[in-house]
Structure 1
Amino acid sequence: MELRPRGLDKVEALIAKGVTIPNPWTVDLDEEVNVDRISGDGVIIHPGCRIRGSRTVISAGCRLGAETPMTIDNCHLGRGVDLAGGYAQGAVFLAGASMASGAHVRAGTLLEEQAGGAHTVGLKQTILFPFVTLGSLINFCDLLMAGGTSRRDHSEVGSSYIHFNFTPDGDKTTASMFGDVPRGVLLDRPPIFLGGQGGTVGPVSTGFGTVVGAGSVLRDDVVEDGQLVLPPAPHEVHRPVTPASYRRLTRILAHNVAYVANLSALESWYRQIRRLFFSREEFGPQILAGALVNLEDVRAERIKRLRALVRRLRPTDEGRAQLIERIDDVVEALAAVDGPAPAAVVRTMGAAADEGVDYLDAVQGLTGDQRTAVTEWLSGIVEAQQQSVAETLPAVDLDF
């Protein structure tokens, strides 16, 4: 009996359509992979790679496994994505995104254009806006990061950085925002820099242009833009542990609401503006669908974690009692909301997409008035959702 590697027929079909596979017998495609969702234009699949899942999309110019074997499982890859080695499951990588070897990228992750990381980076429920660059040996889960205008002027995270997203009480209501959606989508904000060998204790939010010194652990918000932060070393503390005390509960709740509200703004941006460009790309509709699924997954994760925290609360004051009683109403208030994009912006971006203008160039070509209109539109979505939650919890002092 002839021994044939699993998926060899599909590998041969890919080679026939133009995919470069130097050692076909070492590449493993499972039975669910649809070769019609893999481009034949400039795709290179190096030895040892594994491709899985019926939803997987691989666009023109992608490279897999140039450094070490790469596994992708139900991932969506835009044009020119370079995944040098590691594992990715349920992630979306837009045009020009990249990860070096040792990547471990899990569900709910969205890397926008030209975002990426060096070797041995772990991501989950992570949204990186265009150009954001991560160093090596990083764990960066449960967050959104924006900032920067180009590959030469980008937000950056230094090597050996950690976003601490798990508390001693077992909570993950800890999502952080470095920058924000209403301003970040315009790609004209100063970059954010998080120095290496440091970390952030979520949930935290920072303004654009924030610089956090190497070796620092960021524990509080940086509200203003353009701030240098050099936190002092904490004094040694000895005190009894009080499990599930949640002394800063209102801050935790406010950060989670703000995060979900920004997700609503980002989803509106994708549905009304980004779709104009995706619709003109090979596999663009599938990649857009994958991005929207991941945004919904991130929302669901944040709601799940908020419910888990509330289940641990005790009704020790009026605010906590109200939150426990009305958590279902809070969740309803956090459902995705939308609002019409400024008509002039839709016309301008639609015309640019029709003319084949690259998405990044189109965004950076918006006029000052159009930029103001975009920020007002998306900020209105964020503020409306925050107000809805505040009205649901009048006994809780939410300071947005």
Structure 2
Amino acid sequence: MELRPRGLDKVEALTAKGVRIPNPWTVDIDDDVNIDRISGTNVVIHPGCRIRGSRTVVSAGCVLGAEAPMTIQDCQLGEGVALAGGYAEGAVLLAGASMASGAHVRPGTILEEQASAAHTVGLKQTVLFPFVTLGSLINFCDLLMAGGTSRRQHSEVGSSYIHFNFTPDGDKTTASLFGDVPRGVLLNQPPIFLGGQGGTVGPVSTGFGTVVGAGSVLRDDVEEDGQLVLPPRPAEVRRPVTPASYRQLSRIISRNVSYVANLSALESWYRQIRRLFLSQLEFGPLLLAAALVNLTDIRAERIKRVRNLVGRLHPDDEGRSQLLERLDDVVAALAVVDGPAPAELVRLCGAAAGEGQEYLTVVQGLDEEQRIGVTEWLGGIVETQQQNVAEVVPALELRF
């Protein structure tokens, strides 16, 4: 009786259509994988890789496991994605995105074009705009980062950086915005730099062009663009622990509302503009659908965390009492806000996509008037969502 490794029939079918698999007997392909969603053009699957999940998509030019075995489960990979080793589940990586060995990527993650990470990086519900670059030994979960104009001028996070997203109370209403969606999608903003051996205590919001010195911990918002931030070393503080005190409750809620509002703006951008370009690609509609699923999941997670926080509050002032009483109304106000893209922009992008022009090139080629239109459109979505929530709980005096 011949013993055949699991998935060998699928491995052989992939090699027959052009996928390069140097050592077929070492590759494990799950029964649920649809090999029609794996391109036969310039795809390389190195020894020791595991491919799982019915939603998995591997586009042309992808390379898996060049440095160490790589497992992907229900991931959607755009053209030319390189995952050198590690584990990724429920993530969308668009054209040219890459991660070195030791990657640990959990659901809800979106890496846009040419975003990259060096070795041993952990991501979860992380959205990186094009060109954003992460160093090594980084934990960067529950955030969105934009900024930069190319692979030479990109937002960067230095090695050994942590986004602190979990409090002593077990609270995770801590998602941070590095940059923003209304300006960030234009790919013309100054890069953000977070120096190595440091961290950010979420939730935090920073402007474009922010530079945070190495070895420091960012604990506060950086509201203006182009600021050099060298946080002082905090003096020792000793006082009794007061669980669930939430001294800065208004700020925490404001930052979470702004985060969700930016998700609304990004979802509108994907549905109305990115769709035009992704629809032209071999597996583009699947990439678009997966990205929208992840944005929905991120929103649900953020709302869940707000509910959990409110459940710990003591109604000791008017703002907190109002938040407790009207929590369901707050959640309703955090539903997706949408708005129509400028008609000229849709026509321009649709025509360019139909001619085979690339997304990055077209977006960076928009003129000043078109860029203003994008920022006003998406900024209006953000402001509408913020105002919707502020009107529900005026006593909380939310500030955005």
TM over 0.5, yes or no? yes
2:392 corresponds to = 392
Q: Hey, what's the Cα distance between the residues in 2 that align with 1:67 and 1:337?
A: 43
Counterparts of residues 1-400 of structure 1 (less than 5 Å): 1-400=1-400
Q: Secondary structure at the match of 1:232?
A: coil
CA positional deviation for 1:133: 0.1
Letter in 2 for 1:245: S
Secondary structure, aligned partner of 2:303: helix
Corresponding residue SS for 1:259: helix
> Where in structure 1 are there 5+ consecutive unaligned residues?
none
Amino acid at match of 1:136: S
Deviations 1:54-100 (A, max 9, x none): 00000000000000000000000000000000000000000000000
Q: How big is the shift at 1:325? A: 1.1
CA distance in 1, matches of 2:60, 2:76: 12
Gaps of 5+ in 2: none
The CA deviation string for residues 19-70 of structure 1, in whole angstroms up to 9 with x for no partner, is: 0000000000011000000000000000000000000000000000000000
Following superposition, the deviation at residue 394 of structure 1 comes to 1.6
Q: CA deviation at 1:116?
A: 1.1
Deviation track 1:338-364 (CA, whole Å, cap 9, x = no partner) reads 100001111111111011000000000
Residue 269 of structure 1 aligns to a residue whose secondary structure is helix
Deviation for aligned residue 1:337: 1.2
Partner Cα separation in structure 1 for residue 318 and residue 126 of structure 2: 34
| Deviation of the 1:246 alpha carbon | 0.3
Give the whole-Å Cα distance in 2 for the aligned partners of 1:390 and 1:105. 34
Runs of 4 or more consecutive aligned structure 1 residues displaced over 4 Å after TM superposition: none
CA–CA separation in structure 2 for the residues paired with 1:193 and 1:90: 27
* Distance of 2:306 and 2:25 partners within structure 1: 47
How far the C-alpha of 1:319 sits from its partner, in A, is 0.8
Query: In structure 1, the residue corresponding to 2:396 is in which secondary structure?
Result: coil
User: Secondary structure of 1:144's match?
Assistant: strand
Q: Distance in 2 between matches of 1:299 and 1:289?
A: 16
Q: Which amino acid aligns with 2:190?
A: P
Q: Secondary structure at the match of 1:12?
A: helix
SS of 1:95's partner is coil
TM-score, normalization by structure 1? 1.00
1:295 match: secondary structure: helix
